[in-house]
Amino acid sequence: MNTIKKSKADRIFDVFNYSLMSLIVLAALYPLYIIVISSFSDPYAVNSGSVWLFPKGFTLEGYLRIFEYDKIWMGYRNSLFYAVIGTAINLSLTLTAGYALSRSDLVGRNMIMFFIVFTMFFGGGIIPSYLLVKELGMVNTIWSQVIPNAVSAFNIIIARTFFQTTIPKGLLEAAQVDGCSTTKFFLKIVLPLSVPIIAVIALFSAVAHWNSYFQALIYLRDENLFPLQIVLREILIMNEAQGDTMMLSSDSELKDYAEIMKYGAIIVASIPVLVLYPFIQKYFVKGVMIGSIKE
């Protein structure tokens, strides 16, 4: 096998390039690594700043104090419900809208796309949104967490581009010759061919719903409806400011454990997303690349 001998300048460039890329990767991963090891370290070591490479004084006390809080499990249940229901709604509306807008025989599709893109740059603001949700009777209900953001203009554009570049027009014509309706064509042919973009939109939507807390702050009052992010926020606020007696016994103990509980809360909130991603990773890159190429 013939190999091309690299010049001295090429070797220097390779060393510089690999070194730079390694530093960038390190800068991105090290903060995550610090969060993980700090959540398992002794709170005194964390507060003194001596934890920087390996855990010191391994302990699960931070996690135990978090999970002693009964509302954690309620928050997990609610967040999982919002993520599943919200993602299902997002997929239903985004895929149907994207496919319809990809059809050249849709009357007024350019005008519809204009209004969709317009919402990416201009919005009514928090107060009009709250008044709308209130008038619809969704305040302090589960629907306030899944309906207001049921459609993303960005996802519709990605889905529309995917359908335009992936589903041949001749395929629809052949199906129509065989008596296939538009609905049946979409359900039986288009969707099975669209697994990559479905996986991408599902991941985007699920992560957005899982990490959402601002809508819960605005629309929810019933603690039984709070998602996990709000519950974790309450834990940190109580432990830093109020010192809830159910979780901590003294102000000194409060100060010591508040820091590792912050790190533990980050890990607790991130686990479901980290578990989900490997199952759809193989579709993720393909779906994003295909959906980003315009015909």
Q: Is residue 24 one of the residues assigned to a domain? A: no
Are 269 and 232 in contact, with CB atoms under 8 Å apart?
yes
Q: Is residue 41 one of the residues assigned to a domain? A: no
Q: Is residue 163 one of the residues assigned to a domain? A: yes
How many domains does the chain fold into? 1
Compute the average pLDDT of residues 176-205: 87
Q: Is residue 107 one of the residues assigned to a domain? A: yes
* pLDDT above 90: residue 281: no
**Confidence at residue 12, expressed as pLDDT on a 0 to 100 scale:** 87
pTM: 0.77
Token pair for residue 132?
A: 């709308």
Beta-carbon-side half-sphere exposure of residue 26 (alpha carbons within 13 Å): 7
CA distance 9 to 229: 51
Q: Is residue 22 one of the residues assigned to a domain? A: no
CA distance 156 to 7: 48
Beta-carbon-side half-sphere exposure of residue 288 (alpha carbons within 13 Å): 9
* pLDDT above 50: residue 246: no
Alpha helices in the chain (DSSP H): 8-39, 43-48, 61-67, 71-102, 109-121, 126-135, 153-166, 169-177, 182-185, 195-211, 214-219, 228-237, 251-291
Give me the domain span that covers residue 275. 67-295
Q: Is residue 39 one of the residues assigned to a domain? A: no
Least confident of 70-74, 107-111, 199-203: 70-74
Q: Does residue 285 or residue 185 have the better pLDDT?
A: 185
Beta-carbon-side half-sphere exposure of residue 168 (alpha carbons within 13 Å): 5
CATH, residue 127: 1.10.3720.10
Q: Is residue 249 one of the residues assigned to a domain? A: yes
Are 231 and 75 in contact, with CB atoms under 8 Å apart?
yes
Q: Is residue 4 one of the residues assigned to a domain? A: no
